[in-house]
Structure 1
Amino acid sequence: MPTGLLGGALLGLLAVVSVLSLLIVGNRLVRRHRQRRRERIAAPVRGLLLQLLCAEDDEQTELLHRLTEIDRRTWAALEPNLTALLGKVAGGARTALVRLYELRGAVVDAVAALSSRSAVRRGRAAQVLGQLRHRPAAPSLCRLLADRDPEVRLAAARALGRCGGPESVPFLLEALHGPRAVPPAVVTRALISLGPEAQRSVAAGLEHPEPLARAVTIEVIGATGVVSHTSEIARALREDPQMEVRIKAARALGRLGMPDGLEPLLAAVRPGQPVALRMVGAGALGTLGAVVATGPLAELLGDPDPHVAATAARALLQLGPEGQAALRAVAEDRSRRQAAAQARAVLAESAVGAARHDVRAEVAL
């Protein structure tokens, strides 16, 4: 490339970088200015809000009336603080905040804003309704899971975790797929937050035709400890055609801690299975806490894959005295050089961790 063209390209690139830097700085300044302006407007009534949170039931009526009567501009500046507080307080303080929203008509406004042309307003309304745990808004929030704006979809999924019910589960599972998909981690957290009443609806996802929906369902069941579905998850570990689902099933069986998970996990760590599955299976055997897995895990200490061997060594530590005894026995076996080295390494790591814990305990005393 001629020197003149190269110089021009560099100058153009420098100009673009400069413009982007100015835009970023300007955006931060604008946000900071708006935040300070909101704080200044809300300052005169912030004391009333604190009084409301601390007031007894018979004192709340007057405070609620005064806060309900504030002008629209002050309410708009105060509302972000109210929304944040809803997620932090409980009991009478939370009840008072919900009542304030109702008296102000903000709940009705938020429901209406779910249909706004503005993505910012739709997302903010979803957040508010979720914090309020306003169950009647769940059908509208389910529709927003397919919103054209990704931030609105995220807000709707999170809100459903707070105010949704069993009827929201199919919509959350369907939101995992397609060009407007919601990230699996967000859907998983929402399904976990739905609580015991949604367990049956969540379990129906084990038969979902999409692998990702089955994988998320299994992760939710493992995280919530619904042991009644251990046999179905064990079957998924043995038979599901998708490796991601089998890996999730192995991890869930370890968390559920039921004897039904032992045999499928032992089969999952055998040679010939994919390395990722064998690693997760070995870790799950440690989490399961089944002492009868000591022998198979000790055999894995000499596995050709170092990741499988290291995971098996740490799983043996989780099995308590029996697992530690197996590690010491292998560490002293000169005929198993690779396995002995792996056992010595994890025993040394464990000793260092115990020493650090003792030091911290002495310092705390």
Structure 2
Amino acid sequence: MIPAGLLSGALLCLPAVVMALSLLVVGSRCVRGYRQRRRERIAAPVRGVLLHLLCADEDEQSGLLHRLAEIDKRTWTALEPTLTALLGKVAGTARTALVRLCELRGAAVAAVADLSSRSAARRGRAAQVLGQLCHRPAAQALCRLLADRDPEVRLAAARALGRCGGPAAVPYLLESLHGARTVSPDVVTGALVFLGPEAQRGVVAGLEHPQPLVRAVAIEVLGTTGAVSQTPGITRALGEDPAVEVRIKAARALGGLGMPDGLEPLLAAVGPGRPVALRIVGAGALGRLGAAAATPRLAELLGDPDPHVAATAARALLRLGPAGRAALRTAADERPGGPAAAQARAALAESEVGGARHDVRVEVTL
């Protein structure tokens, strides 16, 4: 047992500890606020010039660029947060001007040097800057940061590689999905999608990777980027891959790609004995595929013992157009008291409510 004196002493000290922590939090907020106001005050004289640069024509831009490039280091440091925020929001000639300004100030060179800093915050900040500048010469160094000891640095490096990595970065991004130091699958997927068609060959190689997560991400990227030429490989994964998560990703991808080759594998995926999650995704994919030939199989699923499978099949039938709606009406009329009829009526009612809302929006707009 804890002695009564020790317990009472601890209780007496508790208010003091709470007060000290509160003061520490308030103090840190005050310091951050002071630094923010100080940066804004220092950057104020040139912030207007920076904004003018974004909308200036080519003749004006040259003079504005040199004016901003020659400001002192203290002012540049205060202006950098605004510049970084703008880089993520503008495009076209405005973005080109901002990138040129950063090049004149040596921002890319400094960021590359900071990638090897002992400070995780500086490494992460450097990766973010290089990504925003699309500085492709830094791609190899950013690939090494995918194994950084700090998880936030790894995330920043993966996002940056999505902008400046190129095809050579694809294997590194896929390998970062497993091991002792990993990167979030969502971040890797986003980076690979952002790389676009030039990354497709490396992503396709991921379909044969021994790690299920890598195969799943590769399939998701191919489906998201509309790689219809890879339908056969995705179809094979749906039918043969031992990992359920990979097969689920494959079913979803086939529905999105919309190729006729996906019909038979998806019909097989919703069959009895398959994992419930796969059957749900497969039913939804059949609806997105838009093949009227899937109507009989989806109509059968309206009476499925799993209500999630049945509800997904009902919504999928709505997406098949007149043939699907006719199947729903038939199911609703044949056995009014059965589960299939209930699912069919619910889907039709949902469709009618949605149509009524659309009509109201159109009427209000007119």
Distance 1:256-1:336 versus aligned 2 partners, 3 A rule: farther
Matches within 5 A, 1:320-359: 320-334=321-335, 337-359=338-360
Distance 1:119-1:249 versus aligned 2 partners, 3 A rule: same
Distance 1:267-1:53 versus aligned 2 partners, 3 A rule: same
Deviation at 1:22, TM superposition (A): 4.7
2:260 is aligned with 1:251 = no
2:34 is aligned with 1:33 = yes
2:210 is aligned with 1:191 = no
Q: Which residue of 1 aligns with 2:241?
A: 240
Q: What letter is aligned with 1:267?
A: A
Deviation at 1:364, TM superposition (A): 2.6
Instruction: Tell me the TM-score normalized by structure 2.
Output: 0.95
Distance 1:321-1:30 versus aligned 2 partners, 3 A rule: farther
Aligned-pair identity in percent equals: 77
2:66 is aligned with 1:65 = yes
SS in 1 for 2:302: helix
Instruction: Tell me the TM-score normalized by structure 1.
Output: 0.95
Structure 1 CA distance for aligned equivalents of residues 94 and 300 of structure 2: 57
Q: What letter is aligned with 2:316?
A: A
- Contact kept, 8 Å, 1:237 with 1:245, in 2: the verdict is yes
Q: Which residue of 2 aligns with 1:141?
A: 142
Distance 1:22-1:171 versus aligned 2 partners, 3 A rule: farther
Deviation at 1:342, TM superposition (A): 0.8
1:67-116 deviation digits (Å, cap 9, x = unpaired): 11111111011111111111221222111111111111111111111111
1:232-267 deviation digits (Å, cap 9, x = unpaired): 000000000111101100000000100111111000
Q: Which residue of 2 aligns with 1:56?
A: 57
Deviation at 1:186, TM superposition (A): 0.3
Deviation at 1:223, TM superposition (A): 0.3
Deviation at 1:356, TM superposition (A): 1.8
Q: Which residue of 2 aligns with 1:78?
A: 79
- Contact kept, 8 Å, 1:174 with 1:213, in 2: the verdict is yes
Matches within 5 A, 1:221-240: 221-240=222-241
SS in 1 for 2:329: helix
Deviation at 1:31, TM superposition (A): 2.8
2:219 is aligned with 1:200 = no
- Contact kept, 8 Å, 1:302 with 1:336, in 2: the verdict is no
SS in 2 for 1:133: coil
Structure 2 CA distance for aligned equivalents of residues 227 and 348 of structure 1: 35
- Contact kept, 8 Å, 2:136 with 2:165, in 1: the verdict is yes
Matches within 5 A, 1:207-218: 207-218=208-219
Q: Which residue of 1 aligns with 2:112?
A: 111
Structure 2: runs of 5+ lacking an equivalent: none
Distance 1:283-1:49 versus aligned 2 partners, 3 A rule: same
- Contact kept, 8 Å, 1:330 with 1:336, in 2: the verdict is no
Q: What letter is aligned with 1:328?
A: R
Q: What letter is aligned with 2:116?
A: S
Distance 1:141-1:327 versus aligned 2 partners, 3 A rule: same
Q: Which residue of 2 aligns with 1:153?
A: 154
Distance 1:298-1:52 versus aligned 2 partners, 3 A rule: same
Structure 1 CA distance for aligned equivalents of residues 188 and 123 of structure 2: 19
Q: What letter is aligned with 1:338?
A: P
Structure 2 CA distance for aligned equivalents of residues 357 and 130 of structure 1: 42
Deviation at 1:363, TM superposition (A): 2.5
- Contact kept, 8 Å, 2:318 with 2:325, in 1: the verdict is yes
SS in 1 for 2:153: helix
1:289-325 deviation digits (Å, cap 9, x = unpaired): 1110000000000000001001101111111111111
Deviation at 1:222, TM superposition (A): 0.4
Structure 2 CA distance for aligned equivalents of residues 256 and 11 of structure 1: 66
Structure 2 CA distance for aligned equivalents of residues 118 and 50 of structure 1: 32
